[in-house]
Structure 1
Amino acid sequence: MNRLDHYWYSVNPVALLLLPLAGLFCALALLRRAAYRSGWLRSTRLPVPVVVVGNITVGGSGKTPLVIWLAQFLRAQGYRPGIISRGYGGLAAQWPQAVTADSDPRVVGDEPVLIVRRSGCPMTVGPDRVAAGRLLLQQHDCDIILSDDGMQHYRLARDVEIAVLDGARRLGNGFCLPAGPLREPAGRLAGIDLRVGNGTAAAGERLMTLQPQAVLHLRDGTAQPLESFRGRSVHAVAGIGNPARFFQMLRDHGITVIEHAFPDHHRYSVADVQFGDGLPVLMTEKDGVKCRAYGDEHLWAVAVSAQLPDDFGRQLLSLLAR
């Protein structure tokens, strides 16, 4: 995460010093969006509905579990969903790229590999979401596309926008980059179709909670309930947008946590997850995608699933029916 992240969640001298730059950033973001809305910059519409899942802040807010939930929900309703994403952190020499369950996360990004493994849906990634969407439709018979992130990728026309907010950190100090975490002014939320609060929800938001499903051994794939670690000390590893949320979830299940927080999308080495004391090492599923190759007997990944109220699904279907 950017070194300024420490200053983004309070009003402090550093943030105030950067306010002139934040004002410029906000103005440019507003002008860019206005250029697309007026037609001066052109958006491209794909031949199937597009649902964008994103946020207006920098850093993770829980988009990946929601995308997986949406893919499973839409498939249960008879849709044939496909997924696109930027492939953040991927080092592919050429874009767009198709993603499979066996793709190298160093090439296509960690979150796409996790999404494909959990959702079973086809997925393509690339900085140009339009090109990624076209490749997806060329290779698969999809009738709806979920865009993981891309709220600000206005070149891709969208039919439904879903914003995910971190229920604890919310919008931070409310300032745009670089004084705060906002990619766009807070007023942008008013025009979004559905707003989801991860952990806690404010007025007008649907509550999403992340429930642990199993703890998966990275070497042999065996699964145990999280409760089997209750009363034990573990090393907890998290390279996500808000590691504190993962650590607290473990504590809520009676686990004594030794914290090891890394930047979002961290590129792990063996030394990062070996502590030499024989204690179990519990990490997020996204981290487990990158650490599975190490084959250490102490490494486990905690799988979580999003839980949302019934009316969220009904409202989504109503929006798509338009």
Structure 2
Amino acid sequence: MRAPEFWTSSTLASRAAAWALSPLGNLYDWGGRIKQWRTQPQRLPARVLCVGNLTVGGTGKTPVALAIGALLAKRQEPFAFLSRGYRGTLSQPAIVDPARHSASEVGDEPLLLARHGMTVVSADRVAGAWIAVQHGARTIIMDDGFQNPGLVKDVSLIVVDTHSHFGNGFVIPAGPLREPIARGLARAQGVVLMGDGASIATSLPQLRVSIVPSAEAQASVEGKKVAAFAGIGRPEKFFATLKAAGAQVVLAHAFADHYAFQASDWRALREEAVEYGATLVTTEKDWVRLEAAWRAEVMAFPVEAQFEDTPALEQLLGLS
């Protein structure tokens, strides 16, 4: 599903559409408020670090969660990633095993996270968190879940895409917000600014981060003709990263976020790549969603979140 254009447009027609849908946005907001009021959050015998956002769609939460995991791994602190497993079919909490689970079972983000550390997938965040604790985690990194009131969060970071910020400022379905900006920021301890755009108006600490390819990933595409495809929140960012890494992007196909690739898609992509003499390349998150038989012919392009001020992040997380 693609975000409606009026969510980020300031034209008169777009503003009219947003205002027309704002009563539904108010209902959505009040539903969230009631859930917060009726839920008594549980305190775990482990720290809970939440990487969330105030808008729907991809802002870069997973790379930030992975960067925090890398900091903890350097300190040899036992941790686990916790995800709801968006679009996954598993009905019970589970520790993700990349060798056994598929993206259709656990979701694409958990499969990616599991390549870097213990990952628990659970629609019930509390149940999933307790499994992580029982398996030795002293810190739990929540990839998304800021609006979920089930757990007491020790530190919550809000990831903001600095090129789109909060869209038109309206709540779903009138705009991209999951909740009003002021209410969300009031529960956070810091803001992660994704990209080189403007910061936001808040007294919270703001940490700037860039999504960059690993050295190996850059070397693998530099000067090479590639046929790129991606089904993420903002696929154009992936294509731009490939070009910045020196790749000759001869084809760029954008699919919906979390898109389930079909055999017909694969045939079309493969035929076009052969026609252009290009190497198929996609994001790590898309790569794990591909059928196992297709992956051998597709290059995954790993990226990582690079903070401008890592000591400031460590201090905010209580690691300094």
State whether TM-score is above 0.5. yes
- 2:169 maps to what in 1? 174
How far off its partner does 1:197 sit? 1.0
- 1:24 maps to what in 2? 27
How far off its partner does 1:59 sit? 0.4
Structure 1 position 125 matched with structure 2 position 121:
yes
- 2:5 maps to what in 1? 6
Q: Relative to structure 1, is the Cα distance of residues 228 and 147 closer, same or farther in structure 2, using a 3 angstrom cutoff?
A: closer
Q: Deviations over 1:73-99 (max 9, x none)?
A: 01212411111110111112x311110
How far off its partner does 1:246 sit? 0.6
When normalised by structure 2's length, the TM-score is: 0.87
Q: Relative to structure 1, is the Cα distance of residues 316 and 292 closer, same or farther in structure 2, using a 3 angstrom cutoff?
A: farther
On the 8 A contact 1:270/1:294 being kept in 2, the answer is no
Within a 5 Å distance, the mapping from 1:91-240 to structure 2 comes to 91-92=89-90, 94-102=91-99, 103-117=101-115, 119=116, 121-138=117-134, 140-187=135-182, 188-200=184-196, 202=199, 204-213=205-214, 225-240=217-232
- 1:265 maps to what in 2? 258
The one-letter code of the counterpart of 1:226 is Q
Q: Relative to structure 1, is the Cα distance of residues 254 and 123 closer, same or farther in structure 2, using a 3 angstrom cutoff?
A: closer
The one-letter code of the counterpart of 2:28 is F
On the 8 A contact 1:83/1:123 being kept in 2, the answer is yes
Q: Share of identical aligned residues, percent?
A: 36
Which whole-Å CA distance do the structure 2 matches of 1:22 and 1:14 have between them?
Answer: 12
Q: Deviations over 1:134-173 (max 9, x none)?
A: 12222x1111111111101101221111111112221111
Structure 2 unaligned residues grouped into runs of 5+ = none
Structure 1 position 241 matched with structure 2 position 248:
no
Which whole-Å CA distance do the structure 2 matches of 1:112 and 1:44 have between them?
Answer: 23
How far off its partner does 1:231 sit? 4.6
What SS class does the counterpart of residue 236 from structure 1 fall into? strand
Which whole-Å CA distance do the structure 2 matches of 1:298 and 1:41 have between them?
Answer: 48
- 1:313 maps to what in 2? 313
On the 8 A contact 1:284/1:302 being kept in 2, the answer is yes
The one-letter code of the counterpart of 2:279 is P
Q: Deviations over 1:182-228 (max 9, x none)?
A: 001011224311210111361542111111116xxxxxxxxx64345
Alignment size in residue pairs: 301
On the 8 A contact 2:39/2:149 being kept in 1, the answer is no
- 1:58 maps to what in 2? 56
Which whole-Å CA distance do the structure 2 matches of 1:164 and 1:317 have between them?
Answer: 15
Q: State the 4+ residue runs in structure 1 displaced beyond 4 angstroms.
A: none
- 1:220 maps to what in 2? none
The one-letter code of the counterpart of 1:236 is A
Structure 1 position 285 matched with structure 2 position 284:
yes
Structure 1 unaligned residues grouped into runs of 5+ = 215-223
How far off its partner does 1:295 sit? 3.3
Report which stretch shifted further, 181-190 or 306-315. Answer: 306-315
When normalised by structure 1's length, the TM-score is: 0.86
Which whole-Å CA distance do the structure 2 matches of 1:155 and 1:296 have between them?
Answer: 37
How far off its partner does 1:28 sit? 3.5
How far off its partner does 1:296 sit? 5.8
The one-letter code of the counterpart of 2:141 is L
How far off its partner does 1:297 sit? 5.4
On the 8 A contact 1:87/1:108 being kept in 2, the answer is yes
Pairwise CA RMSD of aligned residues? 2.1
The one-letter code of the counterpart of 1:304 is V
The one-letter code of the counterpart of 1:142 is A
- 1:69 maps to what in 2? 67
The one-letter code of the counterpart of 2:316 is L
What SS class does the counterpart of residue 289 from structure 2 fall into? helix
On the 8 A contact 1:85/1:126 being kept in 2, the answer is yes
Which whole-Å CA distance do the structure 2 matches of 1:285 and 1:255 have between them?
Answer: 17
- 1:217 maps to what in 2? none
Q: Relative to structure 1, is the Cα distance of residues 96 and 22 closer, same or farther in structure 2, using a 3 angstrom cutoff?
A: same
